[in-house]
């Protein structure tokens, strides 16, 4: 088989392996509830590898496979919701938006993040009302801060997003400079 026909097969195989790895990370977060957001963020780094190594449509396919499989099989859907709405989508978006001037890129990043955060809050409330997620009304922490809860969530989430984006950039740099050489994937695709 010539190299041109083998290349898509390698890309599909790596995409499948990365998809399985992403679902495993989300499953860990689904089983150990305290790791739900962290596992979604780590599963997002699987998409980063897909963006760097196989590019094109494959990162989107990896994202879709992880999203669909995690929603279908995971007992706790919160890591899946976070992955679908942010952690899985953001690495693909980040790769394109960082081509612009950095000020414009940050404005677009924060705008997108806040829109997605509002949608995620609404989705979690909706899923809680339908008994797919635990009810927020029974949690003492939420009742204590009920008046300013949305404001507090948005401030903390924006600070966390800033740190997440900086950490992601540094991990991407580390991956490209050091880890990629160790894995010998640089010219594989």
* SS3 readout for 80-129: HHHHHHHHCCHHHHHHHHCCCCHHHHHHHHHHHHHHHHHHHHHHHHHHHH
**pLDDT (0 to 100) of residue 48:** 93
**pLDDT (0 to 100) of residue 140:** 52
**pLDDT (0 to 100) of residue 125:** 72
**pLDDT (0 to 100) of residue 58:** 93
**For residue 26, is it within any domain?**
yes
* Residue ranges making up the domain that contains 146: 3-183
**For residue 189, is it within any domain?**
no
Within the chain, which residues score under 50 in pLDDT?
Answer: 1-2
**pLDDT (0 to 100) of residue 121:** 77
**For residue 188, is it within any domain?**
no
**For residue 68, is it within any domain?**
yes
**For residue 31, is it within any domain?**
yes
**pLDDT (0 to 100) of residue 184:** 73
The total domain count for the chain is: 1
**For residue 171, is it within any domain?**
yes
* Assessment of whether the complete model's pTM goes beyond 0.75: yes
CA distance 132 to 146: 22
**For residue 174, is it within any domain?**
yes
Q: 87, 40 in Cβ contact below 8 A?
A: yes
């Amino acid at each position: 088989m010539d190299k041109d026909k083998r290349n898509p097969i390698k890309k599909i195989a790596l995409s499948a392996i990365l998809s399985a790895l992403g679902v495993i990370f989300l499953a860990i977060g689904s089983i150990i509830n305290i790791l739900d957001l962290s596992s979604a963020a780590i599963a997002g780094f699987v998409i980063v590898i897909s963006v760097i190594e196989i590019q094109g449509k494959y990162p989107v396919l990896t994202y879709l496979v992880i999203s669909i499989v995690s929603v279908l099989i995971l007992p706790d859907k919160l890591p899946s919701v976070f992955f679908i709405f942010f952690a899985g989508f953001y690495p693909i978006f980040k790769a394109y938006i960082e081509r612009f001037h950095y000020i414009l890129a940050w404005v677009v990043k924060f705008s997108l993040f806040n829109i997605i955060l509002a949608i995620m809050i609404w989705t979690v409330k909706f899923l809680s009302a339908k008994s797919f997620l635990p009810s927020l009304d029974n949690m003492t922490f939420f009742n204590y801060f009920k008046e300013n809860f949305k404001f507090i969530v948005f401030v903390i989430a924006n600070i966390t997003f800033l740190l997440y984006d900086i950490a992601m950039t540094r991990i991407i740099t580390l991956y490209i400079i050091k880890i990629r050489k160790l894995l010998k994937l640089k010219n594989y695709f």
